[in-house]
């Protein structure tokens, strides 16, 4: 199976998940599903279809999309089964990833009509 995500790879999501992830959810098939969901959510929430224009975006915009999508997908991997982390570690990881996702999304929403994004 191959990566089907546009904004981030399985390996990039797995790095954010860290040690202790479920052997079931921390695999390409699950991460591909989580990435598709994250990318759709980003597109709908920001009102910009980045998936269709991804190849023409500059590295800065791609980096923010990668940040948001990989954080959201990593949250879903951890949420699937966090027993390998322990409750405190799982919650800390989810909090950090949520903050990263929220920051990236705020930047994308604030910049959606700017030259930074539309001219990228």
Q: Is the dihedral of CA 49, 51, 56, 59 positive or negative?
A: positive
pLDDT at 86: 83
Contact in structure between 78 and 94 (CB atoms under 8 Å): yes
For residues 69 and 29, the answer to whether their CB atoms sit within 8 Å is no
> For residue 41, what pLDDT is reported?
97
Identify the pLDDT of residue 110: 86
C-alpha to C-alpha distance for 104 and 90, rounded to whole angstroms: 21
The predicted structure's pLDDT at residue 117: 65
pLDDT at 112: 67
Structure tokens at 78: 């951890």
Residue 103, C-beta contacts closer than 8 angstroms, at least 6 positions apart: 67
Q: What is the pLDDT of residue 118?
A: 63
- pLDDT tens for the 120 residues of the chain, in order: 788 899 999 999 999 999 989 999 999 999 999 999 999 999 999 999 999 999 999 899 999 999 999 999 999 999 999 888 888 999 999 999 999 999 999 999 887 657 666 665
pTM above 0.85, yes or no: yes
pLDDT value of residue 38: 98
């Amino acid at each position: 199976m191959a990566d089907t995500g546009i904004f981030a790879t399985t390996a990039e999501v797995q790095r954010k998940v860290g040690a202790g992830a479920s052997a079931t959810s921390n695999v390409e098939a699950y991460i591909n599903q989580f990435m598709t969901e994250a990318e759709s959510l980003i597109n709908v929430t920001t009102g910009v279809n980045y998936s269709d224009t991804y190849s023409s975006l500059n590295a800065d915009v791609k980096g923010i999309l990668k940040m948001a999508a990989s954080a959201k997908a990593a949250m879903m991997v951890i949420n699937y089964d966090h027993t390998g982390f322990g409750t405190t570690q799982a919650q800390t990881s989810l909090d950090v990833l949520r903050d990263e996702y929220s920051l990236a999304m705020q930047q994308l929403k604030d910049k959606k009509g700017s030259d930074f994004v539309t001219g990228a």
